[in-house]
Structure 1
Amino acid sequence: MSVDRVIHVLEMDRGVVVFHVKYSSTNKDRPIIQAEFVKKTYAGWKWVFGGGHSPIYNVKEDPVMEFGESWSAQYLPSTEGTEFGKSPFPMIFGMINNDEIDNIISINLNTEKEYTATIIKGDHDFYVWYVFIEGKEEDFKIIAKNMDGKVLSERNLKTENAVTREVLFNGGQ
């Protein structure tokens, strides 16, 4: 796992989830946001599972860019029962490139259960958000809101048969 910059380390039962960025050798201006679960073993740390994506970047430099393109999302499925073993996933995570977005909500479209994302703000020019979800692969609506609760953008996320991939979106504003 190559890492250019660690954004956040989240301690979990039996390991950590590391949010980090790396940069393509062909495009140093475009980060690839990663979330990786690494577990502690008797022999040291061992990578278990994770993934990443390169979001559209950078909305601050392109005023014509659609507001819905100023944030990204990716679904990481549960690894229980796979060759990867147990991890804290499923999880949805992404990057925010617009300071107006203050809140991300994921709604399970089958159960209508809402999950409020944790947003990691730091000394970087973007934010990282994540939310751990329960259950099996379901469809979600993901909503980006401002600090007043106004919906700025929303997308539908299809997770059926996901391995690890950037989500497929339909809809949006």
Structure 2
Amino acid sequence: MRKPRWLWKTSIATLCIVLIGFIVFVWLFPMKLTNPATDPGIDQTLRGIITERYQTLNIPDFEMDDIVHKEWTNDGVIVFYTKNYGQLAEKYADLNLEYWKKTVLGWKWVTGGSYQYSSFNKLKQDKGLIIEYVPGTGTDRYGKLPIVYGESFDPDVVNIELTDKQTLNKQVAKMIPIQDGRTIWFARFSISNETNIEIKGKDETGKTAVLSMLEA
């Protein structure tokens, strides 16, 4: 006995809805089946997807220098890397941050930030402190990945402490030495509207060597 035409159409429509729902699910939600952090070729993979994204944005002259740090999250990775600017009269100080989510269908770009300074030697001479902020991915600037990050050029600074002057919430940043004697730092730190963040760079004795503010 043949099935009615309407039953076939209903079955096909249901199958399509289920398939679309599955595709949306695996794209939006992280993949828990494997741990990409254990993949020995993960740096090459990340280089590839980041370069491909720049090509998609019609930025053909992009060339990555080094991936200087990877910070793994529950559903992806925050990639810190530098760019290759070729032979320049003066060395640049740059840092790029991108948050990529791992899904069943592959890697999905979420957000990112960067800075670039053309006078690396002057930053070292001034013992400067670079501060940047990437807000959370939610519409309220919270959600995933609110992060304060930057770089310290003062060799005496061994600890960077962030304090929300409104809530008095404190957090110690993670500091990571990279190439050329540079030290980058970052902290997952939410910033509400009209909030000032006090950032102290402290030496081994706990004395404040550098003090700066970040205004929301």
The two structures have a TM-score, normalised by structure 1, of 0.76
Q: How does 1:1-173 map to 2 (within 5 A)?
A: 1-2=50-51, 3-24=64-85, 27=88, 29-55=91-117, 57-59=120-122, 62=125, 65=126, 67=127, 70-81=128-139, 88-134=144-190, 136-137=192-193, 138-159=195-216
Q: Any unmatched runs of 5+ in structure 1?
A: 160-173
The structure having more radius of gyration, on CA atoms, is 2
Change in 2 beyond 3 A, CA 1:74/1:4: same
User: Between the two proteins, what is the percent identity of the paired residues?
Assistant: 23
What is the alpha-carbon root mean square deviation over aligned residues?
Answer: 2.6
CA distance in 2, matches of 1:88, 1:29: 33
- Change in Cα spacing, 1:120 to 1:51, as seen in structure 2 (3 Å) is same
Per-residue CA deviations over 1:1-60 (Å, capped at 9, x if unaligned) read: 453211111110110011111144684710311121011122211221010112452358
Distance of 1:41 and 1:87 partners within structure 2: 18
Higher RCO by CA contacts (8 Å cutoff, separation 6 or greater) = 1
**Equivalent AA in structure 1 for residue 150 of structure 2:** G
Distance 1:24 1:94 in 2: 20
Q: Which runs of 5+ in 2 are unaligned?
A: 1-49, 52-63
TM-score, normalising length: structure 2: 0.62
**Counterpart contact for 1:49–1:87, Cα < 8 Å:** no
1:126 CA displacement: 0.4
Higher helix proportion, which one? 2
2: CA distance, partners of 1:122 / 1:25: 19
Q: Which residue of 2 aligns with 1:169?
A: none
| In 2: Cα distance, 1:158 partner to 1:25 partner | 34
